[in-house]
């Protein structure tokens, strides 16, 4: 089976989830105070404002953490000069690198951090979604994107780095789970999974975590919308598996032309002036693979690229490298979600039908032109399932319905690492990304609120309470057909 990996596909809309409403938990005093959230992921960016200790946090009873292995592991500048030393505090209680097997067999690339520091952005995003500080100012590519808050903003955080650039090993992940339980965390978020449904070391470790009273949220997978696409550990009954659905606000932009058309889609970037428009197929590669575009065709122009084969951000990197001024990315089919990646050039992500209309316009027009209108915070219909969200039935055990619940996982604005590997835009502390990786920490944050309100509850009680009180009026990805338990739990 493939190695365990991320389930990534603005801040959570607090009003949409009811957290800050008149009857919501925050105004009742439930904000995660005194609860410890363990985030098993690819590390954390400790200097991020979402984890700053303003002096109002007191140390929880579990402090100090044991020092049988490094418990605040930053500052390996010998491997990577950007890995500055950091002293953990009463917000970010600790950060452990749990990658003994990975480092022994694979090592660490030069663009990775050989420490607990986040070298991808995924771990910082999930941790800040679950338990990031309240009232943090967010911006992407120099554009102010407003205020973000974690679901349990007063909770403490311990980060466990269990994944590297190539994924992870079950032995490292099981060790991270065991360490989190030994450290005394109340809640674990695990936005990690495998396409295999076989029971692995992490599944077993989570069974013991449940026995110890630790609440666990895990991502349900990004292999939907086909049936029976759930893998490990989401298929196991003793943790809470979270599907991804939409929220009622997103960052929406458009591609438009003075020739009389405009199509809307997802965008987190700025816009462009009206410029010549070219089809990437006429520049050498409709999929916009880096190095495959003819700069003589692309330079200074807006480029229409088709989704598929490579990472979406790599396509805008290809346009950037060829001197392009903007990108219209269109889906390979209308069932795919539209997402707000941090692109290298101003970009908008639209559906297949609209993309084909633009493609036809280019072919039929002597001087096609277009502009990109940058993304703005926009109200949309919700909730409906994300097309990528994995679905039941459960291949491990067909009589156990999975996922257990769904939560917002599309275009979620939260933290980032400014030094991500893999050709991603550098220097950004926030990102708006999608996946069941993004929905799982929202449930982990809600578990922190439940733990604060009901410290005597077991993990099973908390899971039952959440499932039996969940909002049910959710649609499938077409936003018309009612979702069923194999979609949303």
Active site residues: 41, 122, 437
Q: How many CB atoms lie within 10 A of CB 426?
A: 11
β strands within 73-186, DSSP E: 92-97, 136-140, 143-148, 156-161
| Two structure tokens written together for 63 | 């402090």
For 35, the 3-state DSSP assignment is coil
CA distances from 440 to 42, 289, 343, 475 (A): 15, 32, 24, 19
For 150-161, the DSSP string reads -SSTT-EEEEEE
The reply to whether omega before 215 is within 30° of 0 (cis) is no
Do residues 223 and 229 lie in contact, with contact meaning Cβ atoms separated by under 8 Å? yes
| Two structure tokens written together for 167 | 């994924």
Distance CA 275, CA 301 (A): 6
Do residues 25 and 449 lie in contact, with contact meaning Cβ atoms separated by under 8 Å? yes
Quickly tell me which residue has 């991502």 as its tokens.
219
Taken in order 456, 91, 124, 179, the sign of the CA dihedral is negative
Name, in order, each residue with C-beta under 8 angstroms of 206's C-beta and a sequence gap of 6 or more.
Answer: 177, 188, 190, 216, 218, 233, 236, 238, 239
Q: What is the DSSP letter of 72?
A: B
Distance CA 121, CA 414 (A): 10
Q: Phi, psi (5° rounding) for residue 208?
A: -70, -30
Buried b / exposed e along 117-135 (16+ C-beta atoms within 10 A): bbbbbbbbbbbbbbbbbbe
Distance CA 219, CA 191 (A): 5
Q: How many CB atoms lie within 10 A of CB 261?
A: 14
> Which run of H or E residues covers position 408?
strand 405-408
Do residues 409 and 241 lie in contact, with contact meaning Cβ atoms separated by under 8 Å? no
Q: How many CB atoms lie within 10 A of CB 454?
A: 13
């Amino acid at each position: 089976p493939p190695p365990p990996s991320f389930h990534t596909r603005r801040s959570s809309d607090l009003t949409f989830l009811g957290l800050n409403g008149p009857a919501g938990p925050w105004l009742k005093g439930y904000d995660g105070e005194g609860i410890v959230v363990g985030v098993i992921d690819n590390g954390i960016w400790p200097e991020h404002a979402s984890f700053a200790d303003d002096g109002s946090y007191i140390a929880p009873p579990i402090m100090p953490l044991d020092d049988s292995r490094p418990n605040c592991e930053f500052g390996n500048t010998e491997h990577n000069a950007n890995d500055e030393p950091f002293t953990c505090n009463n917000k970010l209680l600790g950060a452990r690198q749990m990658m003994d097997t990975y480092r022994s067999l694979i090592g660490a690339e030069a663009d990775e951090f050989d420490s607990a520091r986040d070298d991808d952005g995924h771990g910082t995003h999930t941790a800040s979604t679950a338990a990031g500080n309240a009232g943090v100012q967010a911006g992407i590519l120099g554009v102010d994107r407003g205020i973000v808050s974690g679901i349990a903003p007063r909770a403490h955080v311990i980060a466990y780095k269990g994944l590297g650039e190539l994924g992870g090993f079950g032995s490292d992940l099981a060790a991270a789970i065991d360490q989190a339980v030994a450290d005394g965390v109340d809640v674990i978020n695990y936005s990690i999974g495998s396409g295999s449904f076989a029971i692995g070391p992490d599944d077993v470790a989570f069974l013991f975590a449940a026995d110890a009273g630790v609440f666990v949220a895990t991502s349900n997978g990004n292999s939907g919308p086909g049936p029976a696409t759930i893998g490990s550990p989401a298929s196991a009954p003793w943790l809470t598996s979270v599907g991804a659905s939409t929220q009622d606000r997103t960052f929406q932009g458009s591609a438009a032309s003075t020739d009389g058309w405009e199509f809307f889609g997802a965008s987190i970037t700025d816009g462009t002036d009206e410029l010549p428009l070219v089809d990437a197929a006429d520049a050498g590669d409709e999929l916009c693979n880096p190095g495959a575009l003819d700069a003589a065709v692309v330079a200074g122009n807006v480029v229409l690229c088709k989704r598929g084969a490579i990472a979406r951000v790599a396509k805008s990197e290809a346009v950037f490298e060829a001197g392009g001024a903007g990108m219209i990315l269109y889906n390979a089919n209308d069932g795919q979600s539209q997402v707000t990646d941090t692109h290298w050039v101003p970009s908008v992500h639209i559906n297949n039908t609209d993309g084909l209309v633009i493609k036809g316009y280019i072919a039929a027009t002597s001087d096609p032109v277009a502009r990109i209108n940058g993304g703005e915070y926009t109200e949309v219909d919700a909730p409906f399932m994300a097309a990528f969200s994995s679905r039941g039935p459960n291949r491990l055990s067909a009589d156990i319905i999975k996922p257990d619940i769904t939560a917002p996982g599309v275009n979620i604005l939260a933290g980032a690492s400014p030094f991500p590997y893999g050709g991603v835009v550098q220097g950004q502390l926030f990102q708006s990304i999608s996946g069941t990786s993004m929905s799982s920490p929202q449930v982990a944050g809600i578990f922190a609120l439940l733990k604060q309100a009901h410290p005597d509850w077991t993990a099973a009680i908390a899971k039952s309470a959440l499932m039996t009180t969940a909002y049910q009026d959710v649609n499938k990805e077409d936003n018309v057909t009612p979702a069923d338990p194999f979609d949303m739990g």
